[in-house]
């Protein structure tokens, strides 16, 4: 789907029933690349942040991401009201500035989390001036809990997938030899390829766990679209409606939906799959389509009109609450709502259980992991 297919604009002919574009990413980092399967990944941001969904969901992953420095506000494509107004300058909020102490190669254990550990090296790699050290340490503990939960749920990552990620990183950074790669790893505070593989594996595990534990109501349907392509010619519109009714009659008479969609549908995003839209979340589709598909019975067909044209919808599976399967869904308002409503309580519960079982031990206080650059310590960190 392209940026022209948002609700209220003249549509193109791909993925037309969607109300908002889960693939558009106006806030994406310039280093973002596209993999062969069409999925966008931000290699450099992945390495630095250690979370693949940094760009995908922005501030919603605050519990997993180091907070952005207050002097560098981050735009939120899904919440425009939170973005700086063009032409206005938001002055940085004065406050204490810290820098991490130690080296990113340090293996010193700063927190014990069950059978796992959090190291000073990873803290140094993630910490940014302006961050709250206690918050960053807590985020790292949560990450470790998620990774351990992945092991308990038998979630694994194929080594070939990690290798492909590394190759994508090299390509996106125009790295052609070992010396360049070594310099890149040092600049990114990673050090070795072995450590890079570890970080990517953890990123992918976290991504899978976010999808598994973010649930929302979804429906499975297919459709055939006869697109208006923005025309206002009443004659053409009447002809299009008549054609849609003819297709409905053909289906009632036993015509094959898959073959008909492949031959007649104007939705280039689904026609080659027989019109199959897969499992789609409530609220993701444009209003009339969304209302229809979530009120239909399995096997029912319905002809509806939207701003894009006439749709023949057939319900394949009734609505049910399911985990997400596509990370792009987290870029949509329904996906973010589900993330807040389901994943965040899950990770909070995971941490509460670990704390109750005394499985979390901070071995070094957060204030001892940083050196203050300017200002005073936050009230919460001042000695009593």
| Shared domain check, 166 and 48 | yes
258 and 308 co-located in one domain? yes
Model pLDDT, residue 86 = 39
> Considering the domain boundaries, does residue 121 fall inside one?
yes
Q: What is the CATH number of the domain that holds 304?
A: 3.10.50.40
Return the sign of the alpha-carbon dihedral for residues 147, 151, 153, 154.
Answer: positive
d(CA 297, CA 300): 5
User: Three-state DSSP class for 251?
Assistant: helix
Half-sphere exposure at residue 240, Cβ-oriented, CA atoms within 13 angstroms: 25
Residues 203 and 249 in one domain: no
Q: Say if residue 120 is in the same domain as residue 262.
A: no
What is the span of the domain harbouring residue 110?
31-78+91-214+359-381
CATH number at residue 166: 1.10.4030
Q: Are residues 119 and 181 in the same domain?
A: yes
Q: Is residue 151 part of a domain?
A: yes
Residues 35 and 119 in one domain: yes
Q: Is 62 left (phi over 0), alpha (psi -120 to 50) or beta?
A: alpha
Low-confidence ranges of the chain (pLDDT < 50): 1-14, 16, 20-89, 376, 379, 382-384
Q: What's the pLDDT at 11?
A: 34
* 21 lies in some domain: no
Q: Which of 189, 179, 122, 115 is nearest to 148 (CA)?
A: 115
Quote the number of domains for the chain: 2
Residues 189 and 246 both lie in one domain: no
- Taking Cα atoms as reference points, which of 361, 339, 304 lies closest to residue 78? 339
137 and 174, same domain (yes or no): yes
- Specify the pTM: 0.72
Same domain for 50 and 173, yes or no, is yes
- Domain for residue 7, yes or no? no
- In this structure, is residue 335 part of a structural domain? no
249 in the same domain as 210: no
Instruction: Output the pLDDT for position 60.
Output: 29
Specify the pLDDT at position 79. 29
Query: Distance of alpha carbon 353 from its chain centroid, rounded?
Result: 26
User: Does residue 274 belong to any structural domain of this protein?
Assistant: yes
Same domain, 44 and 190: yes
pLDDT of residue 91: 53
281 by DSSP, 3-state: which? strand
Does 290 map to a domain?
yes
């Amino acid at each position: 789907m392209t940026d022209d297919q948002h609700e209220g604009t003249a549509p193109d002919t791909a993925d037309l029933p969607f109300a908002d574009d889960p693939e558009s990413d106006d806030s994406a980092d310039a280093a973002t690349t596209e993999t062969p399967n069409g999925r966008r990944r931000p290699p450099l941001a992945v390495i630095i942040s250690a979370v693949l969904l940094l760009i995908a969901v922005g501030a919603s992953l605050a519990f997993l991401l180091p907070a952005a420095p207050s002097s560098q506000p981050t735009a939120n494509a899904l919440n425009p009201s939170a973005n700086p107004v063009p032409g206005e300058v938001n002055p940085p909020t004065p406050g204490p500035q810290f820098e991490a102490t130690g080296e990113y190669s340090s293996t010193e254990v700063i927190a014990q989390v069950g059978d796992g550990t959090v190291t000073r090296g990873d803290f140094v790699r993630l910490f940014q001036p302006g961050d709250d050290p206690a918050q960053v340490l807590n985020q790292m503990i949560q990450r470790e809990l998620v990774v351990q939960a992945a092991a308990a749920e038998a979630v694994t990552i194929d080594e070939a997938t990690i290798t492909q990620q590394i190759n994508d990183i090299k390509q996106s950074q125009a790295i052609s030899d070992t010396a360049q790669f070594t310099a890149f790893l040092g600049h990114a505070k990673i050090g070795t390829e072995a450590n890079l593989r570890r970080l990517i594996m953890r990123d992918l595990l976290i991504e899978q766990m976010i999808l598994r534990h973010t649930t929302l109501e979804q429906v499975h349907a297919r459709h055939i679209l006869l697109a208006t392509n923005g025309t206002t010619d009443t004659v053409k519109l009447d002809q299009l409606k008549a054609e849609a009714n003819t297709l409905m009659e053909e289906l009632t008479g036993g015509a094959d939906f898959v073959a008909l969609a492949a031959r007649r549908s104007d939705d280039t995003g689904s026609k080659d799959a027989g019109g199959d839209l897969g499992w789609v979340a409530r609220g993701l589709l444009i209003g009339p389509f969304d209302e229809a598909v979530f009120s239909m019975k399995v096997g029912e067909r319905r002809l509806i009109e939207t701003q894009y044209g006439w749709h023949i919808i057939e319900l394949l599976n009734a609505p049910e609450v399911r985990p997400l399967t596509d990370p792009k869904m987290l870029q949509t308002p329904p996906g973010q709502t589900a993330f807040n409503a389901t994943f965040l309580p899950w990770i909070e519960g995971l941490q509460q259980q670990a704390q109750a079982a005394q499985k979390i031990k901070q071995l070094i206080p957060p204030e001892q992991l940083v050196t203050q650059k300017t200002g005073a310590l936050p009230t919460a960190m001042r000695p009593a």
